[in-house]
Amino acid sequence: MLGRRARLLAIWVLAAVSTTALGQAAEIASSSETPPASLAYDLVRDLTTLFGPRPAGSAAEAAAARWGSDKMKALGFQGVTIEPFPLLRWTPGETRVELIGDPAQRLVATPLGGLVAGPPVEAPVALFRSYDAFLKSSPAEVRGRIVAVVEPVRRAINGDGYVEAAPARARGPAEAMARGAVGFVVRSLGTHQDNVANSGASMTLPRPFPAFALSPAATDQIERAAGLGPVRMRLESSAGWAGAGTSQNVVGTIPGSDPDAAPIIIGAHLDSWEQGTGAIDDGFGIAAVTAAATRILRSGKTPRHTIHLVWFGAEEVSQPGALRDFVGARAFTARHASDVKRALVVAESDWGGGRVTRVTLPPGTSDETVERVRGALGSLGLPVAVGGPGPGVAEIGVLAAAGAPLLRLHQDATGLFDVHHTPNDVLSRVDPASLEQNVTAWERVISAIADVR
Amino acid sequence: MLGRRARLLAIWVLAAVSTTALGQAAEIASSSETPPASLAYDLVRDLTTLFGPRPAGSAAEAAAARWGSDKMKALGFQGVTIEPFPLLRWTPGETRVELIGDPAQRLVATPLGGLVAGPPVEAPVALFRSYDAFLKSSPAEVRGRIVAVVEPVRRAINGDGYVEAAPARARGPAEAMARGAVGFVVRSLGTHQDNVANSGASMTLPRPFPAFALSPAATDQIERAAGLGPVRMRLESSAGWAGAGTSQNVVGTIPGSDPDAAPIIIGAHLDSWEQGTGAIDDGFGIAAVTAAATRILRSGKTPRHTIHLVWFGAEEVSQPGALRDFVGARAFTARHASDVKRALVVAESDWGGGRVTRVTLPPGTSDETVERVRGALGSLGLPVAVGGPGPGVAEIGVLAAAGAPLLRLHQDATGLFDVHHTPNDVLSRVDPASLEQNVTAWERVISAIADVR
């Protein structure tokens, strides 16, 4: 496998050199191998092919970070560093969720991230059509039962249907435990009708409590069964903590011409859930920002502001204590406190595989900078505004909380929650044309901002 | 659960009576429960809700057969009988299929039906882009290796892309074993891009041999990895025989006015694969033929020819010895030899959830009968011809082999292999309008034929 990676890296380096020297047409003819036609697509293809799922703290995530570090060096980034940090690893283990009856019916389910399932439980189901209805229920309605919240997720171009629904997954288990329930199941936070369940993090709890996302088909099944009479479920899983581990951020730099100018920090996250290969979430983001930064590197012009490119580790994992989520971003912020505090902007690509639809610059951005960005975007026809964060702020929200101004390249998230955190988050779901549009938008926005005085 | 079924049956009987007496508008107002708006849809809904997956010989299949028997009686069929027959049960067990490397990558896979996996194997992969290329390979190319056939399935309105591809699944393991391979994987016989694997039967083998269908995403992954260097896989599964069991056919009759007239036999299969709930394959077929026969029952006219409605058991299972597949159809043929031999026509609905696109009557059908069927179909606008069987002949092929003339209501199978034998074969994939069109087509064709002299 090392031989394969070394070979691939050689092809990459050749491609990077030939592109700089001869342009893309020459590059395609420069090797008997088919060289990369698109740096971004090749990044996400090779990341998913070589490493597959990359759970936080896993050997796959660590190997992908080493590969990323080699890649950044080969592409010409400076000061490339792998920055390790500790975390508790979590494993989904093996799961068996069933309707109990005559006969039993097994359901497609996945454990909520960060929860320890504990011993199997079997109990009657207390079904709620909405998370709000559950929150308004009395403890008597749920005590000794398995709470089932079957509320569907609204499809929305900016993905805010997911944001609205997320508390049911994040806080539902805690609320159910507090009311004396013995388990919790929630309809997958997905807009699809596939019989797959969406993974996703939940608040950690002080003691074992089985909590799962069910596929839409499984949720429909429970609703129909509950319409006919009382329903019982059995929840069994070995989900839980898998011991101490290490994750890491990978950082590379394009040095600016003015060392005193505030730095720009752009990134995406390298880790993924275990079911797919994290092609959309967040291989797409890794590929988009890395390819855009590489175009800036290759442009032959030195930006005024230094640009830091960050592949964050450990986004897709809860840690004990709610404050310690986004542990990669926290580690980066702690290590690079002065850069974060004085940053010109921070930005990340982590909202799926859709096209960039608009750009928002941090509050207080000068009219001149707004016009500069608008001009740079040119034929892409994207609206540019000054405004707040909007949905989908993850790692970069941690940096923003530490004082960094937030730049957003908003994406069309209409189809994101059809694959987000499911087995279908694989390379075939990456649209190369959409990825190229993202790369171009990032290149132009960051180039424009990087020359601001 | 028995209480639930009894309650549901009471609703059904009420609905059947009220529909006969008062018509559908009155039926909808006749109960504080919402009564069935469509007999066919309610059949497939309740079948999948109450019993879920129904593997051949399972308790779920048996319970669904008892429910079906009660249902047929309640709807007014005569001589309703559950006819048991023995079989060997097969279980997919638990499966773990991986690319071996640094790091390893787990792949989505499902064992091929009827095979015994035996102990885990780990070996280099011999990859073939087509089944034909594999068949042309030399033993030296595959000996000691895991054969991977990655050929995709062609999408086709009549589903013959599946028929073309089926030998790779059915015979591939035997061919691989004969050449000294230690395992076999095949791209799922599906037209989808989902990261799910399609189950399906294979020829049984004289000794354990691990053989699996891989998801399209997993197959793509192997292809890409093989482009970078040698690939190794590990196959582990507890798939195999689960002991002697019993399956059953359920038969009900609409007696004809002429006891000497040749009977009509129509059916569908009750069993399903284990991953979904068999809503499309073949709950849809069960619902279509049963609802159509019920309309004929309720029409107030007695057909000249007796009509037998059969819910076949155990279609979706191989049995040791290739001749013993379709064991439910073989049991029916053995038990009803004279009816099968003298049948006017035999027909089944088992080609997905698409609309009926055309009708073929058995070779030798008189012009008068062709015209009668054409006239009965009326506004449905379906072509009627005299011709051969075409793709998708399963149980009914066994009856045809015993001498029965084959009637086909061909369906649009364009989307069938997006869900066929996958976890996505669930109720949400049933299109109620398509189901109603099928019911109407079946009712009209069978009504027309049932009065032939």
Q: Which of B4, B48, B103 sits opposite A60 (nearest CB)?
A: B103
Structure tokens at B199: 């189950």
Q: Which of B8, B52, B275 sits opposite A105 (nearest CB)?
A: B52
- pLDDT higher for A56 or A21? A56
Contacts of residue B25, Cβ cutoff 8 Å, sequence gap at least 6: none
Positive or negative torsion for Cα A162, A168, A169, A171: positive
Q: Which of B3, B195, B224 sits opposite A45 (nearest CB)?
A: B224
| Chain B nearest C-alpha distance from A221 (Å) | 6
At B10 the pLDDT is 46
Q: Give the full edge-to-edge strand order of the sheet including B240-254.
A: B78-91, B240-254, B307-312, B264-269, B345-348
Q: At what angle do helices B39-51 and B284-298 cross, to 10 degrees?
A: 140
At B388 the pLDDT is 76
SS3 labels along B365-380: CCHHHHHHHHHHHHHH
Query: A290 and A218 in one domain?
Result: no
Last residue of a domain, one of B238, B272, B300: B238
| pLDDT per residue as tens digits for the range B248-281 | 999 999 999 999 999 999 999 999 999 999 999 9
Cβ-defined contact of A195 to B426 (cutoff 8 Å): yes
Last residue of a domain, one of B191, B220, B238: B238
Q: Which of B49, B106, B428 sits opposite A193 (nearest CB)?
A: B428
Cis peptide leading into A282, omega within 30 of 0? yes
Q: Is the predicted pLDDT of residue A420 greater than 60, yes or no?
A: yes
Is B28 among the domain residues? no
Contacts of residue A67, Cβ cutoff 8 Å, sequence gap at least 6: A5, A9, A46, A47, A50, A51
At A4 the pLDDT is 53
Cβ-defined contact of A49 to B221 (cutoff 8 Å): yes
Q: Give the type of residue at B428.
A: S
Query: B290 and B218 in one domain?
Result: no
Contacts of residue A158, Cβ cutoff 8 Å, sequence gap at least 6: A390, A391, A410, A413
Structure tokens at A188: 């997958």
SS3 labels along A49-88: HHHCCCCCCCHHHHHHHHHHHHHHHHHCCEEEEEEEEEEE
| pLDDT per residue as tens digits for the range B344-357 | 999 999 999 999 99
**Domain span holding position B394:** 38-89+243-450
Nearest-Cα residue of chain B relative to residue A102: B1
- What is the average pLDDT across B407-432? 97
Q: Which of B7, B53, B220 sits opposite A229 (nearest CB)?
A: B7
CATH number at residue A181: 3.50.30.30
Is B338 among the domain residues? yes
Cβ-defined contact of B102 to A1 (cutoff 8 Å): yes
Check if the beta carbon of residue B274 is closer than 8 Å to that of residue B55: yes
Q: How far apart are CA B453 and CA B329, in angstroms?
A: 28
Cβ-defined contact of B2 to A429 (cutoff 8 Å): no
- What is the average pLDDT across A279-299? 97
Cβ-defined contact of A229 to B3 (cutoff 8 Å): yes
| Chain A nearest C-alpha distance from B424 (Å) | 5
Contacts of residue B327, Cβ cutoff 8 Å, sequence gap at least 6: B56, B85, B87, B247, B313, B314, B317, B319
| Chain A nearest C-alpha distance from B2 (Å) | 8
Write out chain B residues lying below 8 Å of A51, CB-based.
Answer: 103, 105
| Chain A nearest C-alpha distance from B224 (Å) | 7
Confidence of residue A19 (pLDDT cuts 50, 70, 90): very low
Q: How far apart are CA A37 and CA A25, in angstroms?
A: 9
Positive or negative torsion for Cα B204, B205, B207, B209: negative
Which residue out of B42, B51, B195, B428 would a mutagenesis test of the A interface target, given it has the greatest number of A Cβ atoms within 10 Å? B195
Cβ-defined contact of A52 to B1 (cutoff 8 Å): no
At A73 the pLDDT is 98
Write out chain A residues lying below 8 Å of B423, CB-based.
Answer: 108, 194-196, 215, 217
Is B27 among the domain residues? no
Is B139 among the domain residues? yes
Last residue of a domain, one of B210, B238, B266: B238
At A103 the pLDDT is 62
Nearest C-alpha neighbor of B198 from the set B208, B186, B209:
B186
Nearest C-alpha neighbor of A308 from the set A269, A359, A250:
A250
CA–CA distances in Å: residue B12 to residues A357, B9, B29, B66:
52, 5, 14, 15
CATH number at residue B331: 3.40.630.10
Confidence of residue A101 (pLDDT cuts 50, 70, 90): confident
Write out chain B residues lying below 8 Å of A50, CB-based.
Answer: 228
| pLDDT per residue as tens digits for the range B184-239 | 999 999 999 999 999 999 999 999 999 999 999 999 999 999 988 899 999 999 99
Cβ-defined contact of B424 to A195 (cutoff 8 Å): yes
Cβ-defined contact of B428 to A101 (cutoff 8 Å): no
- What is the average pLDDT across A57-61? 96
Contacts of residue B368, Cβ cutoff 8 Å, sequence gap at least 6: none
Query: B103 and B84 in one domain?
Result: no
Is B269 among the domain residues? yes
Q: How far apart are CA A55 and CA B395, in angstroms?
A: 46
- What is the average pLDDT across B104-115? 94
Query: B312 and B338 in one domain?
Result: yes
Is B102 among the domain residues? yes
Cβ-defined contact of A221 to B101 (cutoff 8 Å): no
Confidence of residue A31 (pLDDT cuts 50, 70, 90): very low
Q: How far apart are CA A271 and CA A277, in angstroms?
A: 10
Q: Is the predicted pLDDT of residue B312 greater than 60, yes or no?
A: yes
Lowest-confidence region among A45-59, A285-299, A416-430, B323-337: B323-337
At A393 the pLDDT is 80
Query: A136 and A73 in one domain?
Result: no
SS3 B234: strand
Query: What pairs with residue A95 in β-bridges?
Result: A237
**Residue A326, CB half-sphere, CA atoms under 13 Å: how many?**
16
Write out chain B residues lying below 8 Å of A195, CB-based.
Answer: 196, 275-276, 422-424, 426
Q: How far apart are CA B93 and CA B162, in angstroms?
A: 26
- What is the average pLDDT across B411-435? 97
Cβ-defined contact of B195 to A45 (cutoff 8 Å): no
Is B136 among the domain residues? yes
Query: A77 and A58 in one domain?
Result: yes
At A395 the pLDDT is 84
At B322 the pLDDT is 55
Query: B98 and B79 in one domain?
Result: no
Lowest-confidence region among A100-114, A150-164, B19-33, B41-55: B19-33
| Chain A nearest C-alpha distance from B426 (Å) | 7
Q: Is the predicted pLDDT of residue B8 greater than 60, yes or no?
A: no
At A229 the pLDDT is 87
CA–centroid distance for B22 within its chain: 35
Which helix H or strand E contains B111, and what residues bound it? strand B109-111
Cβ-defined contact of A52 to B106 (cutoff 8 Å): yes
| Chain B nearest C-alpha distance from A186 (Å) | 18
Tell me how many domains chain B contains: 2
Contacts of residue A8, Cβ cutoff 8 Å, sequence gap at least 6: A46, A50, B228
Dihedrals φ, ψ of A249, to 5°?
Answer: -100, 150
Q: In the A/B pair of chains, how many CB contacts fall below 8 A?
A: 129
Cβ-defined contact of A49 to B193 (cutoff 8 Å): no
Q: How far apart are CA A276 and CA A199, in angstroms?
A: 10
Query: B251 and B398 in one domain?
Result: yes
Contacts of residue A387, Cβ cutoff 8 Å, sequence gap at least 6: A360, A361, A363
Confidence of residue A188 (pLDDT cuts 50, 70, 90): very high
Longest CA–CA separation in chain B, Å = 73
Structure tokens at B179: 């050449």
Query: A258 and A182 in one domain?
Result: no
CA–CA distances in Å: residue B450 to residues B113, B225, B258, B264, B343:
38, 59, 11, 7, 11
Q: At what angle do helices B59-75 and B284-298 cross, to 10 degrees?
A: 20
Query: A423 and A297 in one domain?
Result: yes
Q: How far apart are CA B86 and CA B57, in angstroms?
A: 8
- Give all strands (DSSP E) within B191-239, no chain letters: 211-214, 232-237
| Chain B nearest C-alpha distance from A27 (Å) | 19
Write out chain A residues lying below 8 Å of B50, CB-based.
Answer: 228
Cis peptide leading into B103, omega within 30 of 0? yes
Q: Are strands B211-214 and B232-237 parallel, antiparallel or unpaired?
A: unpaired
| Chain B nearest C-alpha distance from A109 (Å) | 12
Check if the beta carbon of residue A170 is closer than 8 Å to that of residue A114: no
At B23 the pLDDT is 31
Write out chain B residues lying below 8 Å of A429, CB-based.
Answer: 193
Nearest C-alpha neighbor of B12 from the set B112, B107, B31:
B31
Cβ-defined contact of A58 to B103 (cutoff 8 Å): yes
Write out chain A residues lying below 8 Å of B415, CB-based.
Answer: none
Is B357 among the domain residues? yes
* Average pLDDT for chain B: 91
Confidence of residue B311 (pLDDT cuts 50, 70, 90): very high
At B4 the pLDDT is 53
Dihedrals φ, ψ of A84, to 5°?
Answer: -75, 155
Confidence of residue B399 (pLDDT cuts 50, 70, 90): very high
Cβ-defined contact of A423 to B195 (cutoff 8 Å): yes
Q: Is the predicted pLDDT of residue B30 greater than 70, yes or no?
A: no
Query: B247 and B326 in one domain?
Result: yes
Query: B262 and B211 in one domain?
Result: no
At B186 the pLDDT is 98
| pLDDT per residue as tens digits for the range B125-175 | 999 999 999 999 999 999 999 999 999 999 999 999 999 999 999 999 999
Structure tokens at B329: 């159809």
Q: What is the ipTM of this complex?
A: 0.88
| pLDDT per residue as tens digits for the range A196-228 | 999 999 999 999 999 999 999 999 999 999 988
In total, chain B counts a number of residues equal to: 453
Q: Is the predicted pLDDT of residue B18 greater than 80, yes or no?
A: no
